[in-house]
Amino acid sequence: MAVTDRSPVLYLSHGAPPLADDLRWTRQLADWAGTLDTPTAILIVSAHWEEAPLTLGATTTVPLVYDFWGFPQHYYQVTYPAPGAPRLAAKVRKLLHGKGNPVHDDPGRGLDHGAYVPLAEMFPDADVPVLQMSMPSLDPRELYEIGRTLAPLRDEGVLIVGSGFFTHNLSAVDFARGTDYSPPSWSAEFDLWGEQALRTGDIDAVLDFRHKAPAAVLAHPRIEHFAPLFVSLGASGAAELPRTVIDGYWYGLAKRSLQFG
């Protein structure tokens, strides 16, 4: 497909490595990708990479980061040899430096599971250049401003993706009950609040979710899985209201995933 004049921005709930075994969710991700024009490159921010100053991952194809423990061996044998994106990295550096943001490089750091798990379902041919960027902090407004700074990349066909999980409290998950059990009240209440706040464009409330959202501390004991949304919000612009592409729950966690533009 041809590249549109302005790429959308995504926030997706990425799942753990066993997402690849969930045929419904993988089909949802694949169908979503089928509605998108082929991007020139993908810039992805994952919940699983916090590093300051802001750091860019490898611009060549290097081994993946298997940043999880205790899973069957075959999950550690997954590959996703997407091309690196050195040209995109140069543009990201220029935009961020222009706003006074320091940028470091980590040429040996491959894509972590917050990046390659969803991308392997959405772009299985691994033929789109991918650049991963760290979150230099979890401050909502700082991440929002970083997203705003990077928004011009959309005009060059770059797909900006925030990858997290709309609710994320693994200590409160009963994995013995399977993937489809009814969500706990804290997850459902936060998910509903978040959907309504985003749908109505209440960006200030979303950025201040710790004080505005119900069950915020239960839904996100740490906020790293919600934080990539702030980058996506900044890159989207206040005028672009998101639409939910995927909803529902996985082990009681909200897998809401959004598209702006």
Helix (H) or strand (E) holding 158: strand 158-164
Q: What is the pLDDT of residue 1?
A: 35
Alpha-helix residue ranges (DSSP H) falling in the chain: 23-34, 86-98, 113-122, 140-150, 185-199, 203-207, 209-212, 216-219, 228-236
The arithmetic mean of pLDDT across residues 155-182, rounded, is 91
Supply 136's token pair: 């230099």
* 122-154 pLDDT tens trace: 999 999 999 999 999 999 999 999 999 999 999
The arithmetic mean of pLDDT across residues 193-199, rounded, is 97
Query: Tokens 């989207």 sit at which residue?
Result: 236
The arithmetic mean of pLDDT across residues 65-87, rounded, is 95
For the chain, domains (ranges, CATH) are 9-260 (3.40.830.10)
The arithmetic mean of pLDDT across residues 194-201, rounded, is 97
Q: What is the pLDDT of residue 98?
A: 95
Please, which pLDDT band fits residue 172 given cuts at 50, 70 and 90? confident
* Measured torsion, CA atoms of residues 213, 218, 222, 223, in degrees rounded to the nearest 10: -30
User: Is residue 203 over pLDDT 80?
Assistant: yes
- The chain-wide mean pLDDT, for the chain, equals 95
User: Is residue 173 over pLDDT 80?
Assistant: yes
